[in-house]
Structure 1
Amino acid sequence: MAKKVKQSVVIKVKLKLHHSTDADLLNTMMQQYRNACNLVSQAFFDDHFRSNTQALTKRLYHQLRQDFHLKSQLAQSVVRTVMARYKAVETQLGDQPYCYPTDKKLPNGRPELVWVHRDCQWLWQPINFSQPHADLQRGRDWSFLSNGDLSINTLEKRIQVTPVCHGLQEYLAGEPITSAGHGFEQYLDGTWKFGVAKVLHIRGKWYLHIAMTKEADELQLSKNPKVVGIDRGLRFLVTTHDHQQQTTFVSGKSVQRKRAKFKRTREALQCKGTKSARRRLKKIGNRENRWMTDVNHCLSKTLVVTYGADTLFVLEDLTGVSFNRDDLPKALRNDNSSWAFYQLEMMLTYKAHRQGSLILKVPANYTSQRCPKCEVINKENRDHQQHQYQCADCGYRSNDDRVGAMNIQTLGQRYIAGNAKPRFKKPKSTKTTVA
């Protein structure tokens, strides 16, 4: 019997309010919910992260209802929201261990580095919830109505809003959905279950972000899947090398130009230091994040559509890898560390799984130093300035990003061949003694 796995997606539904007073009711609920989250976050921080969800709910439930006038379900949802945020932060900290040098030296003369795992104990202050929002439980705080509207519970009463999304009205009315199934309607086939919904007010518009889950058989690739090695960077956002020995480069020049423009604007506003400049800085930061998310979304979708089902996408495990480069120009020196490589990885993971493909993460050790022809590992073979790789042993020469993608693809092939943990190891140098 095939093992079942759970797939999760979040769909965004735009809302149309029926009355002007509905906006006030939603705003009040979201602000009180946000304030309650900050209270729970402070309590969890003061308790040194020892309490669990059940203990926090038991201790703060009545205070949340009395101080913020929350209903029973919302009071419990506040604690779950805070605990979920701390769990996500702890995962992010675990993926970025702290590194510091010791007094000892390695055989090559470099200082020995110590990596320390990080968790929530590294936080100096509690997590702050700044954006008003509210997490609504399906069936209690929000539900569908037979006329196609949504019923949302507020602190005072339930209100009706109209979702602006194609296919939903036909689904609720029991009518056949005639669209191609590339939008919201693809989740209305009966296999997806509606879950928690987050109500948000973004740039003057109301949205409901609905979590949906689906159980499916665990994906199994064929014996000879397509193996695609993916090298991530900034000069080329991704460089792929596939099973047909074809290499594809996705240029990042336009991305670098736009990021440089954002940076110049931020620096000019920071020099002013006025209140209006700070408001403008916040708007620009949000705009840059939305643009960055869209770039990664389009890029991950293109990769999945291009290679199709039964593909093994191989990525480097960048956990604990430092991207700071002293050989880059000053304007681009920190771009590597600020680009959302992890976001691209997450988007590619869930999109590939839905398409019938899988993601494999392999160690990044020596992927840019190994010659894909003679397999000799030599750091000096790579020229960062010219973006070239030339092997001193066999003379093989190619683009350094292409060499990285080729080596990553090689690790994927070894995984398919039966090596559960493929990685490159540099052979120990042997010294000969002349008598």
Structure 2
Amino acid sequence: MKTVLTAKLKLNTTPEQFKALRTTQLAYRDALNYVSQYAFAHGKMSNAVRLQDATYEEIRLRFHLPSQMACSVPRQVAASYKTLWTKVKHNAVHRKEGKTKKRYKGLDKAPKFISPTLTYQYKKDYTFKKEQQVSILTLEGRVIVPYTGYNKHVALIQRGAEIGASKLWYDKPKKQFYLLVSLEIETADPTPETHKQVVGVDVGMRYLAVTATMQGDCTFHSGKQIVPRQTTTHD
């Protein structure tokens, strides 16, 4: 069985590396908002391929993003518009059925991206190096940054885990960058031998439930308080 978890890595940057990451992050956010405005002006587009074809060159030219990031931007915007369109359609159905009178306004104007969180694709935008270092792409090229994190997560990265995309997150109050890395690991399926306790449950009316353990302990959960009572009415 595969389990997905997120490793939070603290990036120990130099002042120059910090500036390069922050500049890249803000440029990525500006590109998201440019593409969002374009999508809104052209029928509130949610098709990632069409949106990429229409905006890729301008993203590269205007925001100087590397090619992979320039591809990630329209995909992210398209996904946001697709989610909003789904909400619009659900709202229309609920209004027609009389479940609500409120009209969903999520697509009344172009969605604005506030967070400068940046998405990186593994082996394209970032890779891990030896001695707990990570190579990250910026507008000025790659920077190699030492990182620290939860020991078990670091060990998984160094051996065994399947590494996916990551997000460059900036903790503004602390002025600290973190890399949030998606990890997929293989875990053992649960077996009878791994369970320390088994409980049987019998459901009824007089007693909502009766539980019994392998040690013979029983617990009765009375349903007396909620058993429906028959009432008699007189004309």
**TM score, norm. by length of structure 2:** 0.70
Structure 1 contact 86–120 (Cα < 8 Å) conserved: no
Shift of 1:195: 1.2
1:48 partner SS: coil
Alignment of 1:30-41 (within 5 A): 30-41=25-36
Question: Hey, what's the Cα distance between the residues in 2 that align with 1:159 and 1:61?
Answer: 24
RMSD: 4.4
2:122 pairs, out of 116, 134, 138, with 138
Structure 2 residue aligned with 1:150: 134
2:12 partner SS: strand
Shift of 1:127: 1.7
More strand by share: 2
Residue type matched to 2:6 in 1? Answer: V
2:6 pairs, out of 1, 5, 10, with 10
2:107 pairs, out of 123, 142, 146, with 123
Structure 2 contact 20–140 (Cα < 8 Å) conserved: yes
Q: Which is bigger in relative contact order (C-alpha 8 A, separation at least 6)?
A: 2
Q: Do structure 1's residue 46 and structure 2's residue 46 form an aligned pair?
A: no
Shift of 1:42: 1.8
Question: Hey, what's the Cα distance between the residues in 1 that align with 2:3 and 2:91?
Answer: 26
Alignment of 1:346-361 (within 5 A): none
Alignment of 1:242-261 (within 5 A): 244=211
1:58 pairs, out of 45, 53, 57, with 53
Question: Hey, what's the Cα distance between the residues in 1 that align with 2:91 and 2:156?
Answer: 35
Question: Hey, what's the Cα distance between the residues in 2 that align with 1:206 and 1:89?
Answer: 30
2:98 partner SS: strand
1:138 partner SS: coil
Shift of 1:84: 3.4
1:206 pairs, out of 152, 177, 196, with 177
Structure 2 contact 200–211 (Cα < 8 Å) conserved: no
Structure 1 residue aligned with 2:161: 192
What are the ranges of 5 or more consecutive residues in structure 2 without an aligned counterpart?
202-207, 213-221
1:162 partner SS: strand
What are the ranges of 5 or more consecutive residues in structure 1 without an aligned counterpart?
103-112, 168-182, 229-240, 246-370, 378-392, 394-428
1:21 partner SS: helix
Q: Do structure 1's residue 29 and structure 2's residue 13 form an aligned pair?
A: no
Structure 1 contact 150–163 (Cα < 8 Å) conserved: yes
Alignment CA distance shift 1:192-1:115 (3 Å): farther
Alignment of 1:14-413 (within 5 A): 14-18=10-14, 20-87=15-82, 114-115=98-99, 122-167=106-151, 183-185=152-154, 187-188=156-157, 192-202=161-171, 203=173, 204-214=175-185, 244=211, 372-373=223-224, 376=227, 393=229
Structure 1 contact 33–132 (Cα < 8 Å) conserved: yes
Alignment CA distance shift 1:220-1:40 (3 Å): farther
Structure 2 contact 10–149 (Cα < 8 Å) conserved: yes
Shift of 1:39: 1.2
Residue type matched to 1:209 in 2? Answer: L
Residue type matched to 2:80 in 1? Answer: R
Shift of 1:82: 2.0
Shift of 1:206: 1.0
Structure 2 contact 129–135 (Cα < 8 Å) conserved: yes
Question: Hey, what's the Cα distance between the residues in 1 that align with 2:107 and 2:163?
Answer: 34
**TM score, norm. by length of structure 1:** 0.41
Structure 2 contact 92–103 (Cα < 8 Å) conserved: no
Structure 1 contact 49–120 (Cα < 8 Å) conserved: no
Per-residue displacement from partner, 1:245-284 (whole Å, max 9, x unpaired)? 9xxxxxxxxxxxxxxxxxxxxxxxxxxxxxxxxxxxxxxx
Task: Count residues in correspondence.
Answer: 214
Shift of 1:197: 1.2
Question: Hey, what's the Cα distance between the residues in 2 that align with 1:89 and 1:60?
Answer: 20
Question: Hey, what's the Cα distance between the residues in 2 that align with 1:120 and 1:129?
Answer: 19
Question: Hey, what's the Cα distance between the residues in 2 that align with 1:43 and 1:225?
Answer: 58
Per-residue displacement from partner, 1:105-124 (whole Å, max 9, x unpaired)? xxxxxxxx712699987522
1:114 partner SS: coil
